[in-house]
Amino acid sequence: MSTIKTALIQQTCTDNRQQTMDRTASAIAHAARSGATLIVLQELHCSLYFCQQEQVECFDLAEPIPGPSTAFFGDLARQHQVVLVTSLFEKRAPGLYHNTAVVLEKDGSIAGTYRKMHIPDDPGFYEKFYFTPGDLGFEPVQTSVGRLGVLVCWDQWYPEAARLMALAGADLLLYPTAIGWAPTDTDAEKQRQRDAWITIQRSHAIANGLPVISVNRTGREADPANPSSGIDFWGSSFACGPQGEFLAQASTDREETLLVDIDLQRSEDVRRIWPFLRDRRIDAYDDILLRYRDR
């Protein structure tokens, strides 16, 4: 399959879990009716982004994999005959939790999982309290539409993660995401942050000769401990080709479903004229494994 009709579903979330999931189900149905065979959802799409505070009660949101959410979304994948990329709060064992992407095949089965490797710990994004870093490595998930290099949010800032997915044979890179501005950020700072977020992911496309799909949530979510604060998720979900060219881009502040044709043959064409993988100096990169080169 050289061309994949792909849907990126950018949504707001509410504190009503079932209502949020039902709205996502409606968006999935719409995308499937429009011809999508690959549908990508945003990070932790079943609930509000609970990591704004460190609250032990939020662990109640976690669930096993397989579990209720994989059953719910697996039924949708089977019903609509689509490959579906979901993002769930995984309870692996008591006291052991992950931020996990689950890829569901067209028959509703679990094609593979990826546990988020890079875990942030910043004001409003206290993920280290909740998530253990992933231990499944950077392995693409084989599906009927191609080998999906699924990464999650904070992973998108690390060229090493994208490169390792590319070296493992990924056909495209996917980033379910939850990122936004603090209400106190100036307009200039907001612009810099959003531009940096877009630029780094486009660079992964260029450096690896692969399409990139990034799906972010949108809308304001208040901080539970300080309702006047919170996060303004900046949306801007996008798809780009292997030269970083925009194929589709959503707004900052509206729910949208983007439909885009991803041409996998272009990766072959681009890598022939820009053979970055050929010219890598793998004999000279040992220091990349160091935390820092002290002088």
Active site residue 153: yes
Domain residues for 242? 3-289
pLDDT tens-digit profile of 43-62? Answer: 999 999 999 999 999 999 99
Q: Does any domain span residue 211? A: yes
Q: Does any domain span residue 295? A: no
Q: What's the CATH code of the domain at 38?
A: 3.60.110.10
Q: Does any domain span residue 192? A: yes
Instruction: Give the pLDDT score at 224.
Output: 87
Instruction: Give the pLDDT score at 283.
Output: 97
Q: Does any domain span residue 285? A: yes
Catalytic residue (choose from 116, 127, 221, 240): 116
Q: Does any domain span residue 294? A: no
The answer, as to whether pTM is greater than 0.85, is yes
Catalytic residue (choose from 13, 153, 221, 240): 153
Q: Does any domain span residue 230? A: yes
Closest CA to 20 of 30, 33, 9, 11: 11
Q: Does any domain span residue 217? A: yes
Active site residue 43: yes
Number of CB atoms found within 10 A of residue 264's CB: 18
Q: Report the alpha-carbon distance of residue 9 to residue 76 in Å, rounded.
A: 14
The C-alpha angle with vertex 37 and arms to 32 and 40, in degrees rounded to 5, equals: 85
Residues linked to residue 156 through DSSP beta bridges, in sequence order: none
Closest CA to 96 of 69, 134, 126: 134
Q: Determine contact, residues 125/132, Cβ cutoff 8 Å.
A: no
pLDDT tens-digit profile of 217-249? Answer: 999 999 988 877 899 999 999 999 999 999 999
- CA distances to 79, 104, 118, 183 from 193, rounded to whole Å, are 39, 32, 19, 13
Active site residue 190: no
Q: Determine contact, residues 221/230, Cβ cutoff 8 Å.
A: yes
Q: Does any domain span residue 30? A: yes
The tally of domains found in the chain comes to 1
